[in-house]
Amino acid sequence: MYKTFIVVGLVGAIVVGGGAVAYSQGILLDFAADTMVQKYQSSSCDQLKAMRRAGPSLKEKATLAYLHNDDQARISFINKIAVPVANRMFVCGMFP
C-alpha cells in the first residue's frame, strides 16, 4: 500500500513538472512572438529592410533553432506573427 502512494506521488510530480515546463515554454514563445510583432509594427520600412539585410541576431538564431526542432512551437509562433508581420512586409514592399 505504501509503495502505491509513492508511485502515485512520483507520477503526479512528473505530470505537474511537465506542465510547468510546457507553461514556461509557452510564455517564452508568446514573448518572442510579441517582440517580433512589436519590432515590425514600430520600425520604419527602411529600418526593416536594413535589419533584413543584416541577418538574424544571436538571440534570433537560437529562437529559430528551437522552432526548427519543435513543430508545435513553430505552428503556434507562426500563427501569432503571420498576419501582422505579413501586412507590414506588404506595406513596405518586402513581400515577394
What length does the chain have?
96
Reading the chain (96 residues) residue by residue, the pLDDT tens digits are: 545 545 445 445 455 454 444 555 678 889 889 998 999 999 999 999 999 899 888 988 988 899 999 999 999 999 999 999 999 999 999 877
User: Whole-angstrom Cα distance, residue 10 to residue 4?
Assistant: 10
| Predicted TM-score (pTM) of this structure | 0.68
All three cell numbers of 9: 506521488
Distance of alpha carbon 90 from alpha carbon 96, whole angstroms: 9
d(CA 50, CA 44): 10
Domain boundaries, the chain: 2-91
Q: Confirm if 19 and 67 have CB atoms less than 8 A apart.
A: no
Calculate the CA 88 to chain-centre distance: 19
Query: Would you give the DSSP letter of residue 92?
Result: T
